[in-house]
Chain A
């Protein structure tokens, strides 16, 4: 049972990887070792696939509502979209005081996309892998945010935006000054300041991405562990955990969005 269980867990945590194997060339990895051997030049087809499908779903729904937007009494979908947009717009306006065409839609995209990706966590852990297994696909991880590549991909994008806006607003010299002359405004302290500020700057994307990844990965792992129990007792643990997880996935999506707004608003502020 023990070997079986660890195999089951490892199987569930393995992404469907497509990449360049040093020996066998371009192919889907058939086990964890092959995936590892592919190194950086590989792609998690399941992560990309699910995240694109979910992002597409989000944009499809919102675009549909936006196209048939009416000034009169809003219908169901429009109502929902308006509530979301208003909620995001309010959050942005409370935190971010500059003028930017980008930041509000960016926040909406982050919130809805991350929420939808997290929501996949509530689909029972064996359903989709079993379905794809029946179709001959042996690895399928359906929650993109439990893949560190997905979360770090987003947080690094945010990081690039932080740097872009820092330079755009403060100029290269302003940004450099911010990194070198704080917190101690003394030429001798430049290396120390640079180290301090550099760590602070780099910690932003790392913490942003790993927070989301860690929460969802842990949640998913617990669902997998619960799935190891006899089927007649699983509900006693999985139902409370799922209900609790509804809070987690919403909260993590919200935190990711809020921190992005905060970081970008810090990038916009001139000291």
Chain B
């Protein structure tokens, strides 16, 4: 173990290696590692931001859904109400129409009854006149007795 020039040779080699490492190895490795660290930190940030956004969106969506449901319920209720109203109106109209028909039918019936009565009355007058002719055995002047016949017919 004698000391010799190897000592200096080793020191020179050492210096060259350190220089090379400092110049060509350390900086790129360090740079890449720092860049990756930054990238990971950014990604984590973005992920947490995205999850927050998602939460907000979900909340908004559920709120919209709730509002729409309420609106739909309201619309259905209105429609039901309107339907009931229409049915009521239709019933009313039908009832009125029926009454109107009944009234007109009654009017017609009365008219016909009256007409029949007039006819009967006329026939009865004629019969009475014929009967009276027969009884009196003489011709009666229709003209002179028409007043009498008319009053008779009216009494019928």
Contacts and interface: CB of A to CB of B under 8 A. Distances in A.
Interface of A: 15, 17, 19, 35-36, 38-44, 47-48, 51-52, 55, 58-59, 62-63, 65-67, 69-72, 81-82, 85-86, 89, 101-102, 104-106, 108-109, 113, 144, 147-150, 152-154, 156-157
Interface stretch (B11-19, B67-75, B107-115): B11-19
A42 B5 contact: yes
Contact of B13 (A44, A48, A70, A108): A48
Contact of B7 (A36, A67, A149): A149
Interface string B21-41: 110111011111101100100
B9 to A, nearest CB: 5
Interface of B: 1-11, 13-15, 17-18, 20-22, 24-26, 28-33, 35-36, 39
Nearest to B2: A36
Contacts, number: 124
B6 to A, nearest CB: 4
Contacts of A157: 11, 14-15
B29 A59 contact: no
Q: Looking at chain B's contact residues, is the secondary structure mostly helix, strand, loop, or mixed?
A: helix
Given A109-B18, A153-B13, A154-B14, 18 more contacts: A40-B3, A40-B5, A42-B2, A43-B4, A43-B9, A52-B13, A62-B25, A63-B20, A63-B24, A66-B25, A66-B28, A69-B31, A89-B30, A109-B14, A149-B4, A153-B10, A154-B11, A157-B14
A202 B3 CA distance: 17
B21 A108 contact: yes
Nearest to A35: B2
